Structures are given as C-alpha cells and as structure tokens.
C-alpha cells in the first residue's frame, strides 16, 4: 500500500464533483419534505433531468441551456406528482414510486437515439487570483459553475428557511397544515411550489451527471443516486447545512474508497463502501429512539394528505 500516491488536492477536487448531483437532489427534496410532502420520485426526476439536459445540450451545443431545461423538465414532472397528491389527494408514497418508474421509462425512450453521443461539457471556471492560489486554487477554485451554484443554493435554502417570512410559512405548512390553513395560508399552493423546486433541483442534479460527471447519456445512469439523496435528507435531519455534509460524506466515501484501493489498500474497502448506509440507519435509529427528538426533526405532517374542508 502506498498512500503517498493519493494526492489530497485531486482527491478533494474529485469529491466535490462526485457529490454535486446528490447534493442538488437532496437539497431540493429537503425543501419538499419541509413543506410536509414526501416525494419518492427523486430518482425518476433526476434521470429525466439527465436525459433532457443531455438532449438539449447536444442539439444546441450549450450545456447551460441543457441545465436550465433539465430544471424545467424536473419541475414539470414533479408538478404532475404535485397535482396528483395535492389536488387529487392520491397517496404520496405510491405516486412518488410511480413517478420514479415513469421517469426511468420515459428517459430510456427519449434517450435511445442519444446513446454513445458526446455532449459539450461545462468549462472549468477560470477564477482570477483565487484559482491561481497554490493548493486551494486547484482544490476548491477550479470547478465548473454548477459546483458553486450548488453550494450557493445550500446557503440560500438555509437562509430562506431560517430568516425569511416565506420560509417560515413553508415550515409552518410542513409542521401543521391545519393550523397554517386556519391562518389563511394557501397550503396546497405552498406545497406545489416546494414540490416544483424539488423537481428542478433533482433535474439539475441529473443533468450534472449526464453533462459533467460522466459526460454521456447511458440508460439507467443515475443507478440509485435519487435514493441516496432521499437517505441524505433523513441523515441530515432536514437541515440544509447537514445535507451538504451528508452529500459530501456519501460522495467522499465513494471516491475515497476507490482511491484507497488504487493506492493498494484491499482490506476493509467493502466496509467503507457501506458505511454511509450504516450511518443513515444509525441516524434513523437515533432519531426514532427518542420521541421528543423526533418531534424536533421530521416535519410533523410529513407524508400526510391535506384536505382543506376538514
């Protein structure tokens, strides 16, 4: 084993890239769950974003336009989930799973002609001064714009939920939709907006996979990333900062274990691969072991159907 082969600068740089798709998707899902809606369709929205972002980027040659379209596509797809669950009051778990199946099927249909093609990828930003710094320049300041956008989004979501009135309303809707309704807030409208935000984020995350991380379209390419995003939300106990930690931890461990293997470490790699899942289970056990704590963490009306006439 020769750990000196692992270059920490390159390692951290590749962790940041590797974690960005799940960070975006998990952040969106966190906002959705904060409003009291459980959308299990993250995987489906991600892969739809991946295929649509790729198709647009191929046809226009503009990857940023691909990202924008992927966000819109994710939002539109999630709106179908929103209408079904919020207006027509269907079961959220079943509808979310249905959305995943729809997304997987739709994406393989749309993506068929685009297999094996190569799209224009996002350029690395050339940040003056910062990018030229030794060590940190290569590590932190030489990524593409989406990496920074995802980090900015974490801060924005955190500030939105903590400091703005709209954020307070969203949390109120998630904690007690009946009270929020009694106060005159439009529960369904707030939730639809949250769902669309979640869809847009998942779409962006998917597009990051197909346009930057892998850069190509392959059927089924998200390979469960949407489910990991869902796990991260629970792991993060519905807080933006912890979503960031969770996503970088998941992404980081995957990259780290591959690097350790490449450096010659063979023992314990499997344990390292499964550690994020183990930690999530432990967090879940920890949350559910204490009633008062669980009340603080999960939005109280998560997954419950709201019917205004009651």
Q: Which residues bind another protein (CB under 8 A)?
A: 1, 5-7, 10-11, 14, 18, 21, 108, 111-112, 115-118, 209, 213-216, 218-225, 254-255, 258-259, 261-264, 266-267, 269-270, 273
**Angle ∠(171,251,209) on CA atoms, nearest 5:** 85
Token duo for residue 128: 């003056």
Minimum gap (Å) between residue 22 Cβ and another protein: 9
Packing angle of the helix pair 240-262, 8-34 (nearest 10 deg): 150
Minimum CB separation from another protein for residue 194, in Å?
27
Token pair 């990333």 in the structure block, residue: 225
Which lies closer to another protein via its Cβ, residue 266 or residue 289? Answer: 266
Residue among 196 and 211 whose Cβ is closer to another protein: 211
CB of 17 to another protein, least distance (A): 8
Nearer to another protein, 270 or 295 (CB): 270
Q: Please state, in angstroms and rounded to a whole number, the distance separating the CA atoms of residues 16 and 126.
A: 17
Q: Minimum Å distance from CB 118 to another protein?
A: 7
* Closest of 79, 303, 306 to residue 186, by C-alpha: 306
Q: How far is the CB of 170 from another protein (least distance, A)?
A: 31
Cα–Cα separations (whole angstroms), residue 154 to 18, 24, 245? 16, 9, 11
> Computed from CA positions of residues 283, 288, 294, 300, in that sequence, does the dihedral angle turn out positive or negative?
positive
Which candidate, 161, 158, 163, 192, places its Cα nearest to that of 87?
192
Extended strands (E) in the chain: none
Closer by beta carbon to another protein, 156 or else 263:
263
C-beta closer to another protein: residue 50 or 236: 50
Please, what is the minimum distance in Å from the beta carbon of residue 15 to another protein? 9
Separation of alpha carbons 75 and 31, rounded Å: 13
- Which of 197, 217 has the CB closer to another protein? 217
């Amino acid at each position: 084993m020769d750990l000196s082969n692992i270059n920490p600068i390159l390692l951290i740089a590749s962790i940041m890239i590797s974690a960005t798709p799940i960070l975006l998707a998990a952040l969106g899902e966190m906002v959705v769950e904060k409003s009291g809606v459980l959308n299990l369709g993250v995987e489906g929205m991600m892969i739809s974003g991946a295929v649509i972002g790729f198709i647009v980027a191929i046809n226009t040659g503009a990857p940023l336009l691909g990202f924008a379209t992927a966000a819109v596509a994710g939002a539109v797809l999630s709106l179908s989930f929103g209408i079904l669950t919020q207006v027509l009051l269907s079961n959220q778990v079943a509808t979310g799973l249905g959305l995943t199946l729809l997304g997987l099927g739709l994406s393989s249909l749309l993506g068929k002609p685009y297999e094996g093609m190569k799209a224009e990828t996002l350029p690395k930003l050339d940040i003056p001064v910062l990018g030229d710094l030794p060590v940190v320049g290569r590590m932190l300041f030489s990524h593409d714009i989406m990496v920074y956008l995802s980090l900015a989004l974490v801060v924005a979501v955190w500030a939105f939920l903590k400091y703005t009135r709209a954020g307070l309303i969203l949390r109120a809707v998630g904690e007690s939709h009946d009270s929020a309704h009694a106060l005159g807030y439009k529960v369904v409208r707030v939730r639809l907006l949250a769902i669309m935000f979640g869809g847009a984020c998942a779409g962006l995350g998917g597009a990051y996979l197909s346009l930057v991380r892998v850069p190509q379209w392959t059927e089924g390419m998200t390979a469960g990333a949407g489910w990991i995003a869902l796990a991260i939300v629970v792991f993060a106990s519905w807080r933006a900062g912890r979503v960031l930690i969770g996503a970088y931890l998941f992404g980081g461990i995957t990259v780290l274990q591959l690097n350790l293997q490449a450096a010659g470490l063979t023992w314990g790699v499997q344990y390292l691969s499964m550690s994020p899942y183990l930690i999530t289970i432990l967090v879940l056990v920890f949350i559910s072991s204490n009633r008062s704590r669980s009340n603080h963490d999960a939005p109280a009306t998560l997954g419950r159907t709201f019917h205004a006439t009651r």
